[in-house]
Structure 1
């Protein structure tokens, strides 16, 4: 449930922001929706882990 919620949050962020890009001394790269959704799922799983650690 936490991973799904995080992925949904990542999807919502990707929908609001659109295709993002990062630019720096290394040049520039584009970030699509899939990495943002995956990062949201990871954040959701981390939240689940923290909750389980605090409950025990």
Structure 2
């Protein structure tokens, strides 16, 4: 499971890459955790950059 660090907190998330998807979505659910759905062409660096930008 990929992780992302926000301040001193490490956040685990589930990554779903979908071919043909045009944007990225981040869903935070109390019991399920964080799910990131992104276009299939985005690399991990790009996804991490977006997560850092949206984290606050």
> TM-score normalised to the size of structure 1?
0.34
> TM-score normalised to the size of structure 2?
0.34
> Who wins on radius of gyration, i.e. which is larger?
1
Higher helix share: 1
